[in-house]
Structure 1
Amino acid sequence: MAILPLIRFPHPCLEQVASPVDATAAATGRLAHDLLETMHAAPGIGMTACHAGIMQRLVVIDLPTDGHGPRIYANPEIIWNSTETATREEGSVSMPGIHAPVTRPERVRVRYTRPDGTQAEDAADGLLALCLQHEIDQINGIFWIRRLSRLRRDRVLKRYAKLERDHAMAGVQSTFPSSSI
């Protein structure tokens, strides 16, 4: 397993639709394990191959509080969502240090392919529903800040630019590898 370099906002890959992946391929399994290792190192609770500049429809999620362990979703799609919504803080491993509240449906149903090639559907609520929506948006080319109002997005972008400037002026290098893929 390996920690992959992450791309940073505003890299164009973060706004491109990813291609379907062969869930049964050995390379996909290796990539999923590398994504999990990278996500834990970032740290994060969800990540896509797109965050590493690999334009494949592969999502990994590991919620430390649910006792389920790591989840791998190949080619996931939301097939249903509730009308009830919830607002929670979101961020991205590709925009470290920045978070903002995002409102999304409280519950979803997701169809995906398991690593053995079988099709599955899962219902999710709470934090898992949020993570699935966030990461599926990403593989569909929708970076999370596009879900913010224009005013809030402008504020987030200003905070991120200041954070990046401050790090550059202080000579701070991220301890996490980044990429300019």
Structure 2
Amino acid sequence: MPVTPLPSEVDPAALRIVLYPHPVLREVAQPLDEVDDHVRGVADRMIELMHEARGVGLAAPQVGLPWRMFVINPTNEPGEDTVIINPQLSSPGSHTEPRDEGCLSLPGITAEVTRPTEITLSALDRDGNPFTLSSDDFPARVWQHEYDHLDGVLILDKMTRIDRMANKRAIAELEAGGA
């Protein structure tokens, strides 16, 4: 079993978005024991990387860290970045909706993924304070997508056979290291 690096052992400046099939993307991430300046430094770097890649979310496994943390900005508005640490999802609504999703670790690949349209998120913020949010809009989808990363689940696992065939070449190129 791989050793989870401590926050104090990570140089945020060295972090980059890792691409499929990097093994950390398939690991179940571990909770963070405490939220300190090291964790905040990693979160800040993740926010930078998310914006550079024009994404709306980025999970710690996507930068090579098997931690239960992600950053999001579903609106893509300045000042709307949110750090989510040790999240739990609950109360999924009964209504589901298919929608195309992409992934920063799977460039060039999109897939229709069906998810509950409503969900509740409980987590710690960048200062270690607990909070709970509910959404029945796009943030709910983003939370679920990023949460999947914490359990080693990718959109590849949720795509239809048609999407898998449509993305066959792009998936093969990533698997061959030619992204």
TM-score range, shorter chain: 0.7 to 0.9
Partner residue of 2:103 out of 92, 95, 105:
92
**Aligned-partner SS, 1:142:** coil
Tell me the TM-score normalised to structure 2 length.
Answer: 0.83
Q: Is the 8 A contact 2:30 2:67 kept in 1?
A: yes
2:23 matched to 1:27?
A: no
Separation of aligned partners in 2, 1:59 and 1:69: 14
Give the aligned residue type for 2:164: D
Equivalent residue of 1:78, what SS?
strand
Could you list the per-position Cα deviations for residues 36-79 of structure 1 after superposition, in whole angstroms to 9, with x for gaps in the alignment? 00011112110011001111111100123567600110011102
Looking at structure 1, the residues matched to 79 and 41 of structure 2 have their Cα atoms a distance apart, in angstroms, of 20
Aligned to 1:158: 168
1:162 CA displacement: 6.1
Distance 1:74 1:156, change over 3 A: farther
CA 1:107–1:50: 2 relative to 1, 3 Å: same
Letter in 1 for 2:168: K
Give the counterpart letter for 1:29 in structure 2. Answer: R
Q: What is the aligned residue count?
A: 167
Runs of 4+ in structure 1 deviating by more than 4 angstroms, as ranges, are 65-68, 162-165
What's 1:134 paired with?
145
**% identity of equivalent residues:** 29
Q: Which of 64, 67, 91 is equivalent to 1:53? A: 64
* 1:157, distance to aligned residue in structure 2 (A): 4.5
Q: Is the 8 A contact 2:21 2:174 kept in 1?
A: no
TM-score (norm 1): 0.82
Name 1:113's counterpart in structure 2.
124
Within 5 Å, give how 1:157-176 maps onto structure 2. Answer: 157-161=167-171
Describe the SS at the equivalent of 1:81.
coil
Deviation at 1:94, TM superposition (A): 0.6
Letter in 2 for 1:63: P
- Contact 1:22–1:28 under 8 Å retained in 2: no
Supply the distance in 2 between the matched residues of 1:156 and 1:41 (Cα, whole angstroms): 27
**In the superposition, relative to structure 1, how do residues 3 and 92 fare at CA in structure 2: closer, same or farther (>3 Å)?**
farther
**Unmatched 5+ stretches in structure 1:** 169-173, 175-181
Q: 1:87 to 1:139 in 2, by over 3 A?
A: same
Deviates further, 1-10 or 109-118: 1-10
